[in-house]
Structure 1
Amino acid sequence: MNEIVATLYRQESRRVFSTLVRLLGSFDVAEDALHDAFIAASEQWPSQGVPANPVAWLVSTGRFKAIDRIRRERRFVALDEAAAQAEGVADEAPGWEQRWDEREAIEDDRLRLVFTCCHPSLAEEARIALTLREVCGLTTEAIASAFLIATPTLAQRIVRAKAKLAAARIPYEVPGAAERPARLASVLRVVYLVFNEGHSAQAAGLSDEAIRLARLLHALLPEPEVIGLLALLLLHDARRDARATAAGELVPLEEQDRSRWNRGAIAEGCALAEAALSQRGFGAYALQAAIAAVHGEAPSAAATDWPQIVGLYDALLLIEPSPVIALNRAVAVAMRDGPEAGLALIEPLLPALPGYHAAPAAAADLCRRAGRLHDAQAHYRAAAALARQEPERRFLLRRLAEVRG
């Protein structure tokens, strides 16, 4: 019987959690309620049997456990108010359990929570970090790496963001249609960063979830940047099977077996990228998708249209100037004009990207191509020390061994 509970936890815990957040108005209270509900299920179901609607049972049990917990603690007046508020939800909406499945079938839980956490009262980086940690389940270390900041700094931002939401009594509710555009940029970045984490960690589940959310966003808000993001994710994911060997070792883009690329995903991604660029108001995601489309359409690495890619990076830098984009443009320039031309652009960027392993990795690769093997060794060592994912670190160490001879 407890196997059933464990399976349900894996499959439905986020769904139950999101509903408890809406009912109880607090992530912390909902988290405790979620665990209490599943503990109760493991204790009661073996003797009483699995209820007809186990998810609704868990939500209802978790809600009442939360009310009991709040009343029992009774340390602050605010907690009593929270209990009263939690009690009032079901009173105002009798029969919610019967309508629960119908409501959940229409709207996606995680996407609702992403919109909820991306509240405009928080600074953009704080709301994105909070959402990635609390809703998407990324580790603090992974989020800090994505933001190129120290882990303790990122952790403090998340704590402050949660405290601000609690102090301001900002409700955890789904924004209306008029409020969604103000949160859309943050929501798109959350989805993008979830995909990036899955892509770099070879975690197919995260990548698939990001694409699923991007498709839902596309159906909800088919705007140029939403279209561009979906296109970008599909085009990158199309190379999934060719990015690593059967043993999990990374294969760089130029060495990948392009017959293993998902041509259906590339065709869909290219069509979406073209659609995004054909509309007014396209931005960084649409341009990144266009760059990925050029790679996806190239029959071989040698046939890649690097001048077009450099031109797209020029446009991207105007919209979103950042050292990471400048680094990617420098690599494209190197592929068009030679490694020394790229190194002249990359080397000044290294101090601006102290914790980003891709910067010294790019410099190492270009030094290797230019025959500057001593410099390549130093950059490979630096990149390997910064790499967070083990396959990336092993790849860099293999390259280091090659340039040592």
Structure 2
Amino acid sequence: MGVLNQIEVVLRTTTPQVVAAVVRRYGDFDAAEDAVQEALLAAARQWPAEGVPDDPRAWLIRVASRRRIEAMRSDEARRRREALPADPPMEVRGDDELTLLVLCCHPDLSPPAQVALTLRAVGGLTTAEIARALLVPEATIGQRISRAKQKLRGKELRSREDPSARLPGVRQTLYLIFNEGSTASAGDALHRVELSAEAIRLTRQLRARLPGDGEVAGLLALMLLTDARRPARTAPDGRLVPLAEQDRSRWDAAAIAEGIAIITDALSRFEVGPFQVQAAIAAVHAEARRPEATDWPQILQLYGLLHALAPGPMVTLNRIVALAEVSGPAAGLAALEAAALAGHHRFAAVRAHLLERTGDTTAARDEYRRAARLTLSLPERRYLESRAARLT
């Protein structure tokens, strides 16, 4: 690896931790990131000639801190801080990154803004990389991040505030990032691996900081068990392959083993939560070596528990799928009509599948076509259209 490439890797991997340390010490996310950017520019100028320091993070923190202090002293409203003694060197601590992650998931920010800011500040992705991953114009992502930072002015996490109070929002943001990477909501690709991989990496870090949080453990297990099926979800020609038709030998056995171990431990030690239940469902699927060996009665029970803990339309829809596997497609169709979930392409896709199983191929074909029109994902649209064409 060349010197410039080495410097680029070091800067990319250390920047989120440096931002976290400066935010923790001085507050004001926007100003702290500006100071870090100046430190990065200084590193880009000096390191190629002088070499990478033995402790790059400490170097960047020291330079960014100086820049931040200089900015504070030049601000009329903060002249009183000039009399403060020089700050001692700061260390990058585990709770620095947690503080920054919690700050990026501030409840005053919209979910899209939380996702973009988390990927930028904690994940270290550039604005262009985030835009490509989310299929959103780069200018839009830039505005989203800028507005988010403006909203955070004066709202940084106070030292006496317990970060765990905002953990539900943090977990949900990481889940949104993973879901968008696991099954892209729009575009040509079914997966956006960079997003799902980043969500798993950040959740691993969060679990390391909070080993006593059962829902963080459940979230990590759910991600691992879901991502383990990714190699089998698309055929060589890019065609989507549904769960029942996947070549299970292509599933990632190591990820499955780790996910099952994590959720088994979490369920034995912590109060059960929605992410743990979802991980348990994924584990039941992962343990079946053949589709017909799937323990659908257990999955149906778990969806009943999930519905009690965190009811929602997708939970209801998945519970109906499990019901149809246990009690037959007619029972599933009856539950589907009673649930009144029309409007989403997944509802139409499930209804089409159940109609096909009852033998009503004409109605099933129409529902597959309707589902294809409703989805923005091209791989899903092609799959649904192929199902409709097969019934023609």
Match of 1:296 among 281, 286, 298: 286
Aligned CA distance change for structure 1 residues 303 and 49 (closer, same or farther; 3 Å)? closer
> Residues 231 and 269 of structure 1 are in contact (CA less than 8 Å); yes or no, is this contact kept in structure 2?
yes
Instruction: Tell me, in whole angstroms, the C-alpha distance in 1 between the residues paired with 2:275 and 2:317.
Output: 17
Corresponding position of 1:399: 387
What is the CA-CA distance between 1:239 and the residue it aligns to? 1.7
Aligned CA distance change for structure 1 residues 3 and 141 (closer, same or farther; 3 Å)? closer
Corresponding position of 2:17: 15
Corresponding position of 2:117: 134
Corresponding position of 1:369: 357
Match of 2:169 among 166, 186, 195: 186
Match of 2:89 among 86, 95, 114: 95
Aligned CA distance change for structure 1 residues 223 and 45 (closer, same or farther; 3 Å)? closer
Match of 2:178 among 195, 214, 219: 195
Instruction: Tell me, in whole angstroms, the C-alpha distance in 2 between the residues paired with 1:279 and 1:43.
Output: 51
Residues 20-169 of structure 1: pairs in structure 2 closer than 5 A: 20-46=22-48, 50-65=52-67, 80-81=77-78, 91=85, 93-96=87-90, 100=91, 103-104=92-93, 107=94, 110-119=97-106, 122=107, 126=109, 129-137=112-120, 165-166=152-153, 169=154
Q: Confirm whether residue 244 of structure 1 aligns to residue 234 of structure 2.
A: yes
Instruction: Tell me, in whole angstroms, the C-alpha distance in 2 between the residues paired with 1:175 and 1:198.
Output: 35
Instruction: Tell me, in whole angstroms, the C-alpha distance in 1 between the residues paired with 2:196 and 2:206.
Output: 15
**Identical positions, percent:** 43
Give the 3-state SS of the residue equivalent to 1:281 in structure 2. coil
What is the CA-CA distance between 1:331 and the residue it aligns to? 1.1
Q: Confirm whether residue 358 of structure 1 aligns to residue 346 of structure 2.
A: yes
Corresponding position of 1:311: 301
User: Mean Cα displacement is larger for which, 3-12 or 298-307?
Assistant: 3-12
Amino acid at match of 1:344: A
Corresponding position of 1:254: 244
Instruction: Tell me, in whole angstroms, the C-alpha distance in 2 between the residues paired with 1:182 and 1:254.
Output: 40
Aligned CA distance change for structure 1 residues 181 and 16 (closer, same or farther; 3 Å)? closer
Instruction: Tell me, in whole angstroms, the C-alpha distance in 1 between the residues paired with 2:36 and 2:216.
Output: 32
What is the CA-CA distance between 1:306 and the residue it aligns to? 1.3
Instruction: Tell me, in whole angstroms, the C-alpha distance in 2 between the residues paired with 1:108 and 1:279.
Output: 23
**Cα deviations across residues 269-313 of structure 1 (Å, max 9, x unaligned)?**
334333333346212122212211211111211121212211111
Aligned CA distance change for structure 1 residues 111 and 370 (closer, same or farther; 3 Å)? farther
Corresponding position of 1:211: 200
Amino acid at match of 2:171: L
> Residues 174 and 199 of structure 2 are in contact (CA less than 8 Å); yes or no, is this contact kept in structure 1?
yes
Give the 3-state SS of the residue equivalent to 1:135 in structure 2. helix
Instruction: Tell me, in whole angstroms, the C-alpha distance in 2 between the residues paired with 1:29 and 1:22.
Output: 12
Instruction: Tell me, in whole angstroms, the C-alpha distance in 2 between the residues paired with 1:321 and 1:280.
Output: 21
Instruction: Tell me, in whole angstroms, the C-alpha distance in 1 between the residues paired with 2:193 and 2:258.
Output: 19
Corresponding position of 2:367: 379
Q: Confirm whether residue 346 of structure 1 aligns to residue 331 of structure 2.
A: no
Instruction: Tell me, in whole angstroms, the C-alpha distance in 2 between the residues paired with 1:18 and 1:10.
Output: 14
> Residues 26 and 32 of structure 2 are in contact (CA less than 8 Å); yes or no, is this contact kept in structure 1?
yes
> Which consecutive residues of structure 1, in runs of 5 or more, have no partner in the other structure?
146-154
Corresponding position of 1:149: none
Instruction: Tell me, in whole angstroms, the C-alpha distance in 2 between the residues paired with 1:163 and 1:233.
Output: 32
Determine which structure has greater relative contact order: mean sequence separation of CA pairs < 8 Å that are 6+ residues apart, divided by chain length: 2
Aligned CA distance change for structure 1 residues 95 and 71 (closer, same or farther; 3 Å)? closer
What is the CA-CA distance between 1:248 and the residue it aligns to? 3.9
**Cα deviations across residues 170-226 of structure 1 (Å, max 9, x unaligned)?**
3345666xx244222222222322222222142334333333343444442324333
Aligned CA distance change for structure 1 residues 181 and 30 (closer, same or farther; 3 Å)? closer
Count of aligned pairs? 371
What is the CA-CA distance between 1:329 and the residue it aligns to? 0.5
> Residues 37 and 58 of structure 1 are in contact (CA less than 8 Å); yes or no, is this contact kept in structure 2?
yes
Match of 1:170 among 127, 145, 155: 155
Aligned CA distance change for structure 1 residues 63 and 331 (closer, same or farther; 3 Å)? same
Match of 1:232 among 198, 222, 227: 222
Aligned CA distance change for structure 1 residues 53 and 386 (closer, same or farther; 3 Å)? farther
Aligned CA distance change for structure 1 residues 225 and 70 (closer, same or farther; 3 Å)? closer
Instruction: Tell me, in whole angstroms, the C-alpha distance in 1 between the residues paired with 2:338 and 2:147.
Output: 34
What is the CA-CA distance between 1:250 and the residue it aligns to? 2.4
Aligned CA distance change for structure 1 residues 49 and 264 (closer, same or farther; 3 Å)? closer
What is the CA-CA distance between 1:315 and the residue it aligns to? 1.6
> Which consecutive residues of structure 2, in runs of 5 or more, have no partner in the other structure?
137-141, 185-190
Aligned CA distance change for structure 1 residues 330 and 174 (closer, same or farther; 3 Å)? farther
Instruction: Tell me, in whole angstroms, the C-alpha distance in 1 between the residues paired with 2:71 and 2:369.
Output: 53
Instruction: Tell me, in whole angstroms, the C-alpha distance in 1 between the residues paired with 2:158 and 2:111.
Output: 17
